[in-house]
Structure 1
């Protein structure tokens, strides 16, 4: 029996699957096109300041999944971390997500929770019964003033599209609270790895049976050399973009190094057109247990991804569904290949979901192998 498995990509999806299959006795080869592991979660010490920098933009771990939380803690210590985001719009600083403080600051009120809830409900557009677009969703639930101050322009800068072109599901990720809770997330477990994400991934891959090939692009023509291939790269790239390139957003970063404290907070969003960038992140605040005299900030710009860029966010517009479905059909017709992760399934996934699905994929593969049955192209339906 061939017990050789190839994994394309050394991010969380690939590392988790490699770890689990190697522990089950498989010989796993991981192929990574970049010079490092951990994908877009890669972190490293800044040479000038010694600040732990999230090289491809910040990642905060948050989950309600106890299995995932227990799993990642096997590979390193996670320190408690709460993400408290600030937003600048119309020359003033507010707290995100929109909460009781934001509402009272913005409207110059002193509402109690029930009063704020009633007030916000009065601002919503009740004629929009079934919100289909991002704009519909915002107007229905927070009204035009908050929508235009915090969401409309920021969305155009982030996605390069008008909010009327984006699905309502994007805004459903953003909560509105009627108390003074300014924790950006509401999950049970929230934290930051004390030694960075790359250390976590390196330890996942540091098990007998795993070989990592950095700076190596895998040729799909070699898939027959392996019992199975797990692919976490862009699904359209696996098929040489034969149905055209799926649309992604990418990010550019302007790096600032200063002394002291640059902005007093890890994340500040810029929600209007006064600045062309979407946000500034100050990375030493992601490790508040450390002390540094210097500081490193990323000024973040979002734009359309080209073939030479690193893809960050799948856009998934309604008119792209036909193109995506063609790729999904091509994937279903493949043999001994499973597509995983954000890029492999063309979905926006948080880290905990990525890890959970990777654990499920490894478990499914081992079950299929024991039953001598084929492994599916997708463990989770990308359109589900």
Structure 2
């Protein structure tokens, strides 16, 4: 069959590779001038630092299948994400751990003492947290919530934490030991030569044609048997019910001599500071040596026309709109929706790759059984 993949990020790259290896012809298009989507990396001309152009992407997973799959297309180096946070004029360690608690309260708690203290601070009257704020108050109490979560979250999402679902905070653990590894996954690392090389290697197959600087046009549909759509879900339907809400990011890049902040990621938790964090990109490749450094100040805002969407908001009004688009999508013929934008869900890289592998296998199985290709392949 002849397939068209719209978008040259991980979702479509993996699907294209799996289908190509089974003998199908796949064309991958992207309106941008590069592959790898928002994971795109390239060398900064002034400093030679490998820069994550659309903000840092740190690979972490417990999925051994995904980890082994990526190893076939590029070398990964060990990397541990140790985030710092500035709050009220002090520098702390994130995620909230025993060191953070002791420093914040001026204590020398043992793990058991810290756990008892946090239980005392937390709002135990909240049995079923519905909002981000309620979840935080139940987890860590008012002081830590206001110091590390309230302002940062308001900047990141553009709305009060009282309007965000509690599920968002489940990604942020509290630890009663001195472990400051931001992630708790078995496999963690950074690609030695950047993500773009890996995506290019995945796309490097005789049955795959890549066309960059190529926006999707409906006239293309007559040339292909099926489309995989990793662009925004509502865009496929020409926003007929209205636009789903996405957040976008603006980056203020700057260079410096030597070392700027001494760490890859420093969050700025106070709402009065307009940016959410500063990232120093040479620290994402600690095995390299550079005399200069490149940093990004990161600002989050609502996605407007012409902006690059980064992640879905999924507030109540978006959920209602989403259900209308999902109903349309489930009836659509000749298209499958994939990835963070195509399915309007917040997905980490490992989940994106796992779902792409599952989608490709589902398509191959359906074709083998003379079944129609489905619009969605995630559970």
TM-score by length of 2: 0.99
Q: Tell whether the 8 Å contact from 2:93 to 2:99 is kept in structure 1 after alignment.
A: yes
* Residue 109 (structure 1) aligned with residue 119 (structure 2): no
Q: Unpaired segments of 5 or more residues in structure 1?
A: none
Structure 1 partner of 2:333: 335
Match of 1:94 among 92, 95, 107: 92
CA distance in 2, matches of 1:185, 1:128: 27
Supply the RMSD in Å over aligned alpha carbons: 0.8
1:137-191 deviations in whole A, cap 9, x for unaligned?
0011100000000000111111110000000000110010000000000000000
| Partner Cα distance (1:174, 1:243) in 2 | 34
Find the aligned partners of 1:282 and 1:237 in 2 and give their Cα distance: 34
**Contact 1:255-1:299 within 8 A present in 2 as well:** yes
Instruction: Indicate the residue corresponding to 1:301 in structure 2.
Output: 299
Partner of 1:183: 181
Please list the CA deviations of residues 319-377 of structure 1 after superposition, one character each: whole Å capped at 9, or x if unmatched: 22111011111111111211000000000000000000000000000001111101111
Q: CA deviation at 1:218?
A: 1.5
CA distance in 2, matches of 1:335, 1:43: 35
Residue number in structure 1 paired with 2:9: 11
Whether the 8 Å CA contact 2:83–2:94 is kept in 1: the answer is yes
Q: Distance in 1 between matches of 2:354 and 2:218?
A: 26
1:240 alignment partner in structure 2: 238
Q: Counterpart in 2 of 1:132?
A: 130
Question: Residues of 2 paired with 1:168 and 1:338: CA distance?
Answer: 30
SS in 2 for 1:328: helix
Q: Report what 1:39 is aligned to.
A: 37
How many residue pairs align between the two structures?
379
SS at 1:192's partner residue?
strand
Q: 1:266 aligns with which of 220, 243, 264?
A: 264
Runs (5+) with no aligned partner, structure 2: none
- Of the three residues 183, 207, 211, the one matched with 2:209 is 211
Is contact 1:7-1:14 (8 Å) kept?
A: yes
| Structure 2 match to 1:377 | 375
Out of 73, 76, 87, the residue aligned to residue 74 of structure 2 is 76
Whether the 8 Å CA contact 2:131–2:164 is kept in 1: the answer is yes
8 Å contact kept, 2:154–2:271 = no
CA contact (8 A) 2:123 2:141 kept: yes
Give the superposition deviation at 1:224: 4.0
Structure 1 stretches of 4+ with a deviation exceeding 6 A read none
Q: Tell me how far 1:286 sits from its aligned partner.
A: 0.1
The answer to whether 1:283 aligns with 2:281 is: yes
Structure 1 residue 221 displacement after superposition: 4.8
Query: Higher mean Cα deviation, 368-377 or 88-97?
Result: 368-377
1:220, CA displacement in angstroms? 3.5
Of 175, 188, 195, the match for 2:193: 195
Which residue pairs with 2:62 in the alignment? 64
- 2:92 is paired with a residue whose SS is strand
